[in-house]
Amino acid sequence: MKRILFPFLLLSVGLISAFQLISHHENASKDWSEYLGGPDRNHYSNLTQITPENVKNLQVAWTYAAPDTGQMQVNPIIVEGILYGVTSAVRAFALDASTGKEIWRFGDPLNTWHSTSRGVAYWAEGNDKRILYTVGPFLYALNAKTGKPIESFGERGKVDLHTGLPDIAKNKFIISNTPGTIYEDLIIMPLRLSEGADAAPGDIRAFNVKTGKLAWTFHTIPYPNEFGYETFPKNAYKNDGIGAANNWAGMAIDRKRGILFAPTGSAAFDFYGGNRKGKNLFSDCLLALDARTGKRLWHYQTTHHDIWDRDHPAPPNLVTIKQNGKLIDAVAQVTKQGYVFIFDRVTGKSLFPIKEVLAPKSTLTGEQSWTTQPVPTKPAPMARQAHNLTEKDISPFAENREELIAQLKTYKKELFAPPSKQGTVMLPGFDGGPEWGGAAVDKQGIMYVNCNEMAWILTMRDTPKQDALAHLPLGEKIYTTTCTVCHGNDRKGNGKSGYPSLVDIGKRRDKGYVTQIITNGKGMMPGFTTLSTNEKQALVSFLFGEEKKEVGGETKIKMPYLPYSSTGYNKFLDSKGLPAIAPPWGTLNAIDLNTGEFLWKVPFGEEESLKAKGINNTGTENYGGAVVTESGLLFIAATKDGKFRVFDKKTGKILWETILPAAGFATPSTYQIDGKQYVVIACGGTKLGTKKGNQYVAFALP
């Protein structure tokens, strides 16, 4: 093994060079060369070797053990026989896609990141072939053949994603979980930002692939004299207490027309908007932008003045559908609420009527919730919604069913019920409905999408004022203002909802590890990049039970004060930790986008604790999307039960399934090399309490 030191560690493996491997496979492969299969993000493949008749013969073709263990959401790409992926610690790698043999690896083993990554982007011009991907706040350009950073890109191979943002955002938390979108010599970058009042603005920016220079910026919180400026308070664009409205889920691109389709999320803070009165363009919008310039062509806002965290969870699908005998190039956007909005790709006209329905008024002082919200008439929502819940919907398997029925009666659950102190039912929950796995669409215009049916409870509370915290030591003060929403005042967290206890953290982790997590974040936890070294040390001392009780120490945290905050992300669960509502808890759906009608809906996944008692077809929470093939198959992992399944796309019937080494919370990829079709899935587990894994597993016919 040959080691070459770079800003990061590069591993070059084997005697056969990447160039030789690429040359060997040229013109012999059918690729999966972009995130989710192509610029349309349709998760679609025209490969037909694996069929409904022979799929039962699938077997493991190869496995790759990544050097890091943990959750992987990666949809790997395959270009000219080379598979490019990312480990759970955000190290990029290249494999021979026919054998799984590692060619190169890029990353820093001494400073591992704990964020999630959904993959990489690929760009080529002649012999200049590049992999673009992010580590923390940096966008890297790597030589696709060698894995070495391209020194002429940005600063020695990387660009800081703070570039082009206003000065107030320079030190704020910014990463990117999702690959950028390539158009000509540009890469347009999605961003994941804080969800709180300290969030950076979610400006959409394009960078030159060759040089790393900023090419254009679209302000998602408009500046003076820009369209939509009046939908926010006049100084919102200055980013003082108002931020985000970011695209984090990725984008789709119509390269023929040069139109970029970018779905955005909510403005921050997620659950209280008294300081951002107005409709809040361009939060929660599907934006159609000129890909060369960033100029707005059209937009549609699917949630006005979002106070529910109703981000668009996935890239839109670019489809061609038939209505009244006419073919229409369309764009379809799934939402966390379980809706599908379908528009003419060029004009932005909705292809099915959309109604503005009356929405309840907020009872929180200072909040001005929007009076109406848009609801498409077709397709119907793919998940149950809170306003339809009755006591009959409480799980028959819950031992504390009567208690849950009584709880349900105390919560607000009208359609678009605003956040409240008494508690508001969120169904679909904060993750959806459809989530970041997104939807697959075939050439007939049929959408296949997996969906969660997990209810969450959103409860608001009065935010303690800074002077009320003056008696606290510095570390405890920082914990109270930044950490209690997820981990609680008692530091016990909420393990059932995925937020770990920090009690006795010193017995499980060392101070260096905890400090790194505070700085960089982990999973869905943002990094607290604005904390000084002294503040981090004080917080760690508090968490480790070492902070002196004397009052003292001023925090420089400039978190804008809002009168209300959330009590945390709490699932509505029974006494056993299972969903409080009746199954199915996860579904797989087929929707004809031509007509807006459902073709089939089936439970997706099995709750193992109930299956052991003979209770089947419960469905489970699921994360990661499907792949649909021309031969009529639907490949999908995604479920908590750790299985990889193949469905008949016409009927929803399971044709084949297998147990993965760890749950595959990712979207698979399919490709063909030298006449053999493969399907590969990243198996990192970890999420939803599942065991950790580190393998990529490829399947093929014998």
Over residues 490-504, the mean pLDDT reads: 74
The C-alpha atoms of residue 575 and residue 583 are separated, in whole angstroms, by 16
pLDDT value, residue 29? 58
Q: What is the β-pairing status of strands 326-334 and 340-344?
A: antiparallel
Among 32-46, 355-369, 551-565, the minimum mean pLDDT is found in 551-565
Is the CB of residue 646 less than 8 Å from the CB of residue 52?
no
Confidence at 324, pLDDT banded by 50, 70, 90: very high
Domains delineated in the chain: 464-561 (1.10.760.10)
The two tokens of residue 228 are 């939509």
Confidence at 535, pLDDT banded by 50, 70, 90: confident
Residues 6+ away with beta carbon under 8 Å from 465: 561
Confidence at 555, pLDDT banded by 50, 70, 90: low
pLDDT value, residue 506? 75
For the cut 90, the answer to whether the pLDDT of residue 146 exceeds it is yes
The two tokens of residue 14 are 């084997």
The two tokens of residue 370 are 């929007």
Is the CB of residue 186 less than 8 Å from the CB of residue 125?
no
> Using one digit for the tens of pLDDT, what is the confidence trace for 645-682?
999 999 999 999 999 999 999 999 999 999 999 999 99
> Using one digit for the tens of pLDDT, what is the confidence trace for 359-393?
999 999 999 999 999 999 999 999 999 999 999 99
Q: Which comes out higher in pLDDT, residue 273 or 553?
A: 273
For the cut 60, the answer to whether the pLDDT of residue 508 exceeds it is yes
Among 422-426, 439-443, 475-479, 596-600, the minimum mean pLDDT is found in 475-479
Three-state DSSP at 139 gives strand
Place of tokens 């493996």: 13
Cis? peptide before 232, omega within 30° of 0: no
> Using one digit for the tens of pLDDT, what is the confidence trace for 37-72?
999 999 999 999 999 999 999 999 999 999 999 999
| Mean pLDDT over the full length of the chain | 91
For the cut 70, the answer to whether the pLDDT of residue 15 exceeds it is no
Amino acid 422 reads: Q
Is the CB of residue 255 less than 8 Å from the CB of residue 183?
yes
The C-alpha atoms of residue 196 and residue 55 are separated, in whole angstroms, by 47
The C-alpha atoms of residue 635 and residue 265 are separated, in whole angstroms, by 28
The two tokens of residue 623 are 């994360």
Sheet containing 326-334, strands listed edge to edge, beginning at the edge strand earlier in sequence: 317-323, 326-334, 340-344
Q: In terms of Cα–Cα distance, which of 666, 663, 655 is closest to 627?
A: 666
Q: What is the 3-state secondary structure (H, E, C) of 471-506?
A: CCEHHHHHHHHHCHHHHCCCCCCEHHHCECCCCCHH
For the cut 70, the answer to whether the pLDDT of residue 503 exceeds it is yes
Q: In terms of Cα–Cα distance, which of 512, 507, 511, 490 is closest to 499?
A: 490
412 forms beta bridges with 424
Q: In terms of Cα–Cα distance, which of 661, 659, 600 is closest to 634?
A: 600
Q: Which comes out higher in pLDDT, residue 683 or 111?
A: 683
For the cut 70, the answer to whether the pLDDT of residue 496 exceeds it is no
pLDDT above 90 coverage of the chain, percent = 79
> Dihedral of the CA atoms 467, 503, 684, 7 (nearest 10)?
60
pLDDT value, residue 191? 97
The two tokens of residue 372 are 């109406």
Number of other residues whose CB lies within 10 A of the CB of residue 586: 28
Number of other residues whose CB lies within 10 A of the CB of residue 230: 13
pLDDT value, residue 550? 57
Q: Which comes out higher in pLDDT, residue 677 or 108?
A: 677
pLDDT value, residue 13? 41
The two tokens of residue 205 are 């920016």
For the cut 50, the answer to whether the pLDDT of residue 315 exceeds it is yes
pLDDT value, residue 17? 42
Cis? peptide before 584, omega within 30° of 0: yes
For the cut 90, the answer to whether the pLDDT of residue 218 exceeds it is yes
Residue 643 sits at φ, ψ, to 5 deg, of -100, 155
Query: Within the chain, what is the greatest distance between any pair of CA atoms?
Result: 76
The C-alpha atoms of residue 229 and residue 280 are separated, in whole angstroms, by 9
List Cα–Cα distances, 109 to 40, 72, 114, 256, in angstroms.
Answer: 35, 17, 12, 41
Residue 15 sits at φ, ψ, to 5 deg, of -85, -20
For the cut 90, the answer to whether the pLDDT of residue 452 exceeds it is yes
Is the CB of residue 647 less than 8 Å from the CB of residue 639?
no
Q: In terms of Cα–Cα distance, which of 380, 378, 396 is closest to 388?
A: 380
Confidence at 502, pLDDT banded by 50, 70, 90: confident
pLDDT value, residue 615? 97
Residues 6+ away with beta carbon under 8 Å from 12: 1, 2, 3, 4, 103, 104, 146, 147
The C-alpha atoms of residue 123 and residue 131 are separated, in whole angstroms, by 7
Count, in order, helices (H) and strands (E) of the chain.
7, 46
